[in-house]
């Protein structure tokens, strides 16, 4: 048995804590090594011979990311099995042996993905100090590690200088990896610099008052909290504690997640989130009193989540600013979710995540058409110039306007007892569309001109949608809703389309 206890260099890597105890992370045979690179995915098969890059390049991009992070080698080391450790370390060496000539160029070269290199850097710094690595791979592997670390640092410096990451939670990976490298190389100036930047970025990444991630993604509110806790633990372990109150953030997040949820406990699939999230019994304990709910909603207004509904709780809505794209989200201002009592979700965000590299990810899940927002037929995203959203004091009405470089979209919502009115206006210099994406299980049936019946399985309530639009500008299409990583279901969308013109219309939705 090999004795090994992981250091703070690697304990921050989120998915390592998700491996079940006694998980078969590596299974060794004569012809191949089977590696569970992430506990939430299927194992990867690595042949004992051949070009490893060509093998990995055929895998799902998410699996590639976790493979190249090398985080999976840590639970193998912790298991202590010499045969498995030897096989795992030889796979690690094969990654170090990949030459630039073997790499496939392009946007999806996951060997140099920003997330992967941050984790791989920390794992390699950990491995470099272990006697078992030298005993299995020989002293020459230390030079290979040093050379590869230098290559990672070149990429990392470029990433740290790139402004596109400034509002993205990956920035904390970049800064932490830079800090750990400074720690490993006893660079005191670098340690102090990156420690301060980590603390500052966490306070920018998460709105302290609400606990919400500023990326506008419900899933990443929870993910970022876990990251912050792991980073705090790592920094404490390296004697560089942060002035960040994770307990306060968590309490504020739980109360505001409860406040933004709908009366049946369902949560919106905004940002890169999957459908089907519900408040846990623990989170329900944080639900604010009715008298405090509006104040929680007003705090969420400040970060672009506009929550409201009818005074009798029969209709609820959520509108998002979504005015800045991130690596996990999408630019789709005025996105709106609508919920009816005894019916549940009616209009929804298409959700996410969907697998890297797939056309549907970019043409649907990260395009404005997937999020109930104005979409130009020639582009997935538009350049936003100005956005304004105002909610009535009693939270039953909302008015918003998004001005883009070559178009504009106005949307107003008015909620009453068991009915909702939507007023829309579009001005565009080219063909455009607005998709109204309905929840899984909804069915839309035309009744007469300008009138549709909407039903939902397992619900006895029927809703009637009425519009003054010309029928020629309306169509019903089946589109996708994400229910988990790379998983989706089909649901209907009511599509409004127009040419280069100015047009206004109304929709009313009420119990039928």
Helix (H, G, I), strand (E, B) or coil at 363: helix
- Given its phi and psi angles, is residue 447 left (phi above 0), alpha (psi -120 to 50 degrees) or beta? alpha
13-21: average pLDDT: 93
Banded model confidence at residue 133, pLDDT cuts 50, 70, 90: very high
Number of domains in the chain: 3
Look at the alpha carbons of 288, 291, 297, 299 in this order and tell me if their dihedral is positive or negative. negative
Banded model confidence at residue 324, pLDDT cuts 50, 70, 90: low
459 and 423 in a common domain: yes
325 and 279 in a common domain: no
Q: Does 327 score more than 60 pLDDT?
A: no
Structural domain includes residue 345: yes
Q: What is the pLDDT of residues 434-451, one digit of tens each?
A: 999 999 999 999 999 999
Q: Of the residues 292, 317, 340, which one is the last residue of a structural domain?
A: 292
124-146: average pLDDT: 96
| Partners of residue 424 on adjacent β-strands | 411, 505
How high is the pLDDT of residue 368? Answer: 86
Q: Does 106 score more than 60 pLDDT?
A: no
Q: What is the pLDDT of residues 492-508, one digit of tens each?
A: 999 999 998 889 999 99
Structural domain includes residue 20: yes
How high is the pLDDT of residue 274? Answer: 87
Task: Tell me the percentage of the chain whose pLDDT exceeds 70.
Answer: 97
How high is the pLDDT of residue 216? Answer: 80
Token pair listed for 306:
């506009």
Banded model confidence at residue 166, pLDDT cuts 50, 70, 90: confident
262 and 124 in a common domain: no
Selection from 372, 393, 395, 423 nearest residue 309 by Cα: 395
Structural domain includes residue 69: yes
Domain that holds residue 66: 8-161
Q: What is the pLDDT of residues 38-72, one digit of tens each?
A: 998 999 999 988 888 888 988 888 899 999 999 99
DSSP annotation string for 422-457: EEEEEEESS-EEEEEEBPTTEEEEEEETTEEEEEET
How high is the pLDDT of residue 108? Answer: 57
How high is the pLDDT of residue 61? Answer: 85
Helix (H, G, I), strand (E, B) or coil at 376: strand
Q: Are 346 and 340 in contact (CB under 8 A)?
A: yes
Give the CA distances from residue 228 to residues 32, 48, 198, 225, in Å, rounded to whole numbers and listed in that order: 37, 38, 10, 5
Look at the alpha carbons of 283, 289, 290, 292 in this order and tell me if their dihedral is positive or negative. negative
Q: Are 161 and 171 in contact (CB under 8 A)?
A: no
258-278: average pLDDT: 90
29-45: average pLDDT: 94
247 and 113 in a common domain: no
* CA of residue 74 relative to chain centroid, distance: 25
Token pair listed for 399:
């008015």
How high is the pLDDT of residue 262? Answer: 97
Structural domain includes residue 175: no
148 and 54 in a common domain: yes
246 and 135 in a common domain: no
Cα separation, 323 vs 320, in Å, equals 8
273 and 136 in a common domain: no
117 and 195 in a common domain: no
Q: Of the residues 104, 126, 161, which one is the last residue of a structural domain?
A: 161
How high is the pLDDT of residue 449? Answer: 95
How high is the pLDDT of residue 101? Answer: 74
Q: What is the pLDDT of residues 347-393, one digit of tens each?
A: 999 988 777 777 888 888 888 888 999 999 887 667 889 999 999 99
Q: Does 178 score more than 90 pLDDT?
A: yes
Cα separation, 121 vs 159, in Å, equals 14
Structural domain includes residue 496: yes
How high is the pLDDT of residue 512? Answer: 85
How high is the pLDDT of residue 354? Answer: 74
19 and 90 in a common domain: yes
Structural domain includes residue 182: no
Q: Does 260 score more than 70 pLDDT?
A: yes
Q: Of the residues 292, 312, 338, which one is the last residue of a structural domain?
A: 292
Structural domain includes residue 210: yes
53 and 146 in a common domain: yes
367 and 280 in a common domain: no
How high is the pLDDT of residue 465? Answer: 98
Q: Are 364 and 480 in contact (CB under 8 A)?
A: yes
Mean pLDDT of the chain: 92
How high is the pLDDT of residue 456? Answer: 95
How high is the pLDDT of residue 326? Answer: 54
Q: What is the pLDDT of residues 464-478, one digit of tens each?
A: 999 999 999 999 999
- What residue spans of 302-442 are helical by DSSP H? 359-360
Banded model confidence at residue 17, pLDDT cuts 50, 70, 90: very high
76-86: average pLDDT: 95
Q: What is the CATH number of the domain that holds 451?
A: 2.70.98.70
Q: What angle do CA 203, 205, 209 make, to 5 degrees?
A: 60
Helix (H, G, I), strand (E, B) or coil at 393: coil
Structural domain includes residue 318: yes
421 and 316 in a common domain: yes
């Amino acid at each position: 048995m090999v004795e090994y206890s992981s250091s703070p260099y690697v304990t921050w890597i989120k998915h390592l804590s998700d491996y079940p105890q006694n998980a078969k992370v590596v299974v060794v045979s004569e012809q191949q090594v089977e590696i569970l690179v992430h506990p939430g995915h299927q194992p990867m098969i690595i042949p004992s011979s051949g070009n490893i890059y060509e093998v990995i390049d055929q895998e799902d991009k998410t699996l590639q990311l976790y493979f190249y992070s090398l985080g999976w080698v840590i639970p193998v080391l912790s298991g202590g099995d010499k045969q498995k450790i030897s096989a795992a370390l030889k796979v690690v060496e094969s990654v170090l042996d990949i030459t630039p000539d073997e790499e496939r160029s392009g946007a999806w070269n996951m060997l140099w993905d920003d997330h992967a290199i941050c984790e791989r850097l920390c794992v390699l710094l950990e491995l470099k100090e272990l006697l078992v690595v030298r005993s299995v791979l020989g002293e020459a592997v230390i030079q290979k590690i040093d050379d590869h670390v230098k290559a990672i640092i070149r990429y990392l410096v470029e990433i740290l200088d790139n402004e596109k990451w400034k509002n993205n939670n990956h920035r904390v990976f970049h800064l932490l990896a830079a800090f750990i490298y400074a720690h490993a190389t006893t660079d005191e100036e670098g340690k102090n610099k990156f420690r301060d930047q980590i603390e500052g970025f966490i306070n920018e990444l998460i709105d302290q008052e609400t606990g919400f991630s500023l990326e506008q993604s419900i899933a990443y509110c929870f993910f970022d909290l876990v990251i912050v806790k792991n980073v705090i633990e790592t920094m404490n372990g390296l004697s560089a504690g942060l002035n960040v109150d994770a307990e306060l953030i968590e309490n504020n997040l739980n109360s505001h997640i409860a406040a933004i949820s709908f009366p049946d406990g369902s949560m919106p699939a905004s940002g890169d989130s999957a459908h089907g999230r519900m408040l846990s019994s623990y989170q329900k304990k944080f639900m604010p009193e009715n008298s405090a709910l509006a104040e929680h909603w007003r705090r969420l207004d400040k970060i672009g989540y506009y929550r409201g509904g009818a005074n009798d709780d029969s209709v609820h809505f959520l509108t998002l600013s979504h005015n800045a794209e991130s690596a996990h989200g999408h630019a789709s201002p005025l996105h709106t979710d609508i919920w009816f009592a005894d019916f549940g979700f009616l209009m929804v965000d298409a959700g996410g995540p969907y697998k890297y590299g797939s056309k549907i990810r970019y043409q649907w899940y990260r395009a404005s058409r997937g999020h109930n927002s104005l979409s130009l037929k020639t582009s997935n995203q538009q350049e936003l110039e100005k956005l304004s959203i105002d909610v009535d004091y009693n939270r039953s009405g909302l008015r918003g306007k998004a001005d883009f470089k070559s178009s504009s979209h106005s949307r107003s919502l008015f909620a009453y007892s068991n009915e909702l009115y939507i007023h829309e206006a579009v001005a565009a210099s080219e063909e455009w569309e607005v998709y109204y994406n309905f929840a899984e299980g909804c069915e839309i049936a035309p009744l007469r001109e300008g009138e549709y019946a909407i039903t939902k399985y397992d619900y006895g309530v029927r809703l009637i949608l009425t519009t003054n639009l010309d029928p020629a500008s309306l169509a019903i299409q089946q589109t996708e809703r994400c229910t988990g990583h790379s998983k989706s279901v089909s649901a209907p969308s009511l599509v409004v389309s127009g040419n280069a013109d100015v047009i206004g219309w109304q929709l009313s939705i009420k119990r039928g």
